[in-house]
Structure 1
């Protein structure tokens, strides 16, 4: 299959996967609010959530989205597939508003569209290619990145466990995004190995690491959704970190390439800044909406107490 035909399969599959992840995020974030807050990475949370139909809907959407992501990774470079997941911010905001029976916040959607525009420009300029890519990870060359990512995840978890501040949710989201990006990189390796034979992945380390890191990332995402009142800021962090890690793994471990001429590199950096600006705007807007919700809750509680006192 030529590159154009492969991309014609990979890109729609990645976008549909992003939509699936957006629906899963909205449904799971809503369901996690209905159960008791659990410790980070505690399996007890999943046991409680299994009784919630809304969470089961999110689980089904996650499975479908993962299948679509695997299809996309089988046909396209990870440097294309993972950045397309940034569109999940838009889908998550829309589905979250739909499930809550309210209109999506227009400024959140504007930030999401900004992310999508920057992403489209980046992909057009960078033109990621998997020509010459290797399906086997060179552990020696990837060890510094692996150590740095592990340290980042541990640091985020320690911060979230020891600091009582709203930013702890973003720390959990950052750790989730890193685990998702690493999982995607390893899944790319596994899909490549499957071309050799159905038993080939079982002879390599990547599959077994996915079976550990993947569930950890999923469980951590549920902790993240449970801790935050608004889904958009956390999703913005997760879906922005995920592709960054995916591109790093694709270029440094899997031999994928990007166009890096001076002019194109300048354009890619500008497009990346547009994506970062969109994400920062979503986080800022989410913080503003959260503050407004907290103020409304305070006023509502005060009025209720006043009515009770004079009732």
Structure 2
């Protein structure tokens, strides 16, 4: 179990670092109203942005290895650490500052995650899934995503719209991980040819693209305090459900549900507190002024 945990943590750390590096690169690009055709060309001339892309690829490789070697119910919940890690890295790279309340929120997320994983004690690592498991999972996920997108489009810009798009992103990320897990086992068992001919490979690519699209809409639709908790908790919860129902993984139930719910509440409280920080908003918004990150949080008293 140690190997998938280490690779999942590596993926979370890489994603967090990539977020900070890409934000740092964006701060060096001249701002303009609306879309600008030369934006990508400008970014391509920024070494820090190119490093960020390499880190994103590294994160994808780490996630693939983690899913190939461990239960999805262990791997995906560890990604709730992305936001705390991104803020910690940003304090150094963007010269920001976390107050005592910010550090307390980071500790709350870590503690909550530890409680959840200890109480749930996930186990199992099925390598292949029959279509009788995939069909309801795919149908339910697509229906839920469609309903959330419709609900988002019917709302004006604000918290409700951002939360709907955030949850749609979470479901897409969870399905991406679930499908990727089967694809990685196919690659390991039957080689590259089978990897590129199995439908799960194209399935996780499609859900991954959708996740990025919904994430961008979530960021543009409303405050991070609305979208980030829905994204963070939604990904973990949906992944847990997919691990149990699709991959027949095991988590403890009965009275163990009490500490699991307590841990989830701690994670929710920590993520909510972190998403309220100016530093978190500076990382998420392309419209922040260049100096916002440096003044991201007030000094600890």
The verdict on a shared fold, with TM-score over 0.5 as the criterion, is yes
Aligned match for 2:273, one of 270, 276, 281: 281
What's 1:140 paired with? 135
Counterpart-to-counterpart distance in 2, 1:178 and 1:149: 8
The match for 2:73 is 79
**Per-residue deviation, 1:196:** 2.4
Moved more, 199-208 or 183-192: 199-208
TM-score, with structure 1 as normaliser:
0.75
* Structure 2 counterparts to residues 1-311 of structure 1, below 5 A: 7-32=1-26, 34=29, 36=32, 49-131=43-125, 134-137=128-131, 138-155=133-150, 158=153, 163-165=156-158, 168-198=161-191, 199-222=193-216, 235-260=228-253, 262-285=254-277
Deviations 1:49-70 (A, max 9, x none): 5454443232211111111111
User: How many residue pairs get matched?
Assistant: 280
Give distance in 2, aligned partners of 1:63 and 1:149: 29
Label 1:227 to 1:70 Cα distance change in 2 as closer, same or farther (>3 A).
Answer: same
| Pair 251,114 (structure 1): closer, same or farther in 2 beyond 3 Å | same
Deviation at 1:180, TM superposition (A): 1.7
1:282 is displaced (CA, Å) by: 2.5
Shift in alpha-carbon separation, 1:90–1:289, aligned structure 2, 3 A:
closer
Deviations 1:247-291 (A, max 9, x none): 12111222112111x21122212222221222222234559988x
For residue 46 of structure 1, report the CA deviation from its aligned partner: 5.7
1:93 and 1:288 map into 2 onto residues whose CA distance is 7
Choose 1 or 2 for highest CA Rg.
1
Q: For residue 38 of structure 1, report the CA deviation from its aligned partner.
A: 6.0
User: What 5-or-longer segments of structure 1 have no aligned partner?
Assistant: 1-6, 291-296, 298-311
Q: How has the CA–CA distance of structure 1 residues 132 and 214 changed in structure 2, closer, same or farther, with 3 Å as cutoff?
A: closer
Return structure 1 stretches of 4+ with deviation > 6 angstroms. 42-45, 226-230, 287-290
Residues 131, 94 of structure 1: CA spacing in aligned structure 2 closer, same or farther, 3 A cutoff?
A: closer
Kindly tell me: are residues 288 and 240 of structure 1, through their superposed partners in 2, closer, same or farther at Cα, counting changes over 3 Å? closer
What TM-score, normalized by structure 2, do the two folds share?
Answer: 0.77
Residue 259 to residue 154, structure 1, CA distance change in 2 (3 Å) = same
Contact 1:20 1:64 in 2 (8 A): yes
5+ residue gaps in structure 2? 283-288, 290-301
Q: Give SS of 1:258's match.
A: coil
Alpha carbons of structure 1 residues 168 and 269: separation in structure 2 relative to 1, 3 Å: same
Relative to structure 1, the CA distance from residue 221 to residue 288 in structure 2 (aligned partners, 3 Å threshold; closer, same or farther) is: closer
How far the C-alpha of 1:116 sits from its partner, in A, is 1.4
TM-aligned CA deviation for residue 187 of structure 1: 0.8
